[in-house]
Amino acid sequence: MAAKDLVESTISENKITIFSKTYCPYCRRAKTLLTSKFPNVETKIFELDEMNEGSEIQDYLLEKTGQRTVPNIFINQKHVGGCDAVVGLDSKGQLAQLVEANSPSTSKL
């Protein structure tokens, strides 16, 4: 599957999508925060450093979001940003409401 199709289909099929790298401390922090706070929410994590198409995915994410660093996080189809962004939302008490919101693709049903 082309990088663009993989990114777009994953974002649309999961409440939380995290593009990560296994050795990245910011990724580890964001993954721990999201998976521990929302253990029952559909979450897909891609470890780009372990994927053949990892750099292609990272190039597409740069094109799509303007962000090249990992983690690159989407919640309910919305680009949220990296670790700093999710930690910031959590400390403002806004993370849960973003995760629990109906996704745009289902809210019209």
Ligand X SMILES: N[C@@H](CCC(=O)N[C@@H](CS)C(=O)NCC(=O)O)C(=O)O
Binding site for ligand X (CB under 6 A): 21, 24, 26, 69-71, 82-84
Minimum distance, C-beta of residue 25 to ligand X, in the bound complex (Å): 6
Q: Tell me whether residue 7 or residue 70 sits nearer to ligand X (CB atom).
A: 70
DSSP per residue over 16-67, as a string? EEEEE-TT-HHHHHHHHHHHHH-TTS-EEEEEGGGSTTHHHHHHHHHHHHS-
Minimum distance, C-beta of residue 107 to ligand X, in the bound complex (Å): 28
Q: Decide the pairing of beta strands 72-75 and 16-20.
A: antiparallel
Minimum distance, C-beta of residue 49 to ligand X, in the bound complex (Å): 8
Minimum distance, C-beta of residue 14 to ligand X, in the bound complex (Å): 19
Q: Tell me whether residue 55 or residue 102 sits nearer to ligand X (CB atom).
A: 55
User: Which residue has tokens 């190039």?
Assistant: 59
Q: Decide the pairing of beta strands 78-81 and 72-75.
A: antiparallel
Q: Tell me whether residue 11 or residue 83 sits nearer to ligand X (CB atom).
A: 83
Q: Tell me whether residue 92 or residue 108 sits nearer to ligand X (CB atom).
A: 92
Contact 7, 35 (CB under 8 A): no
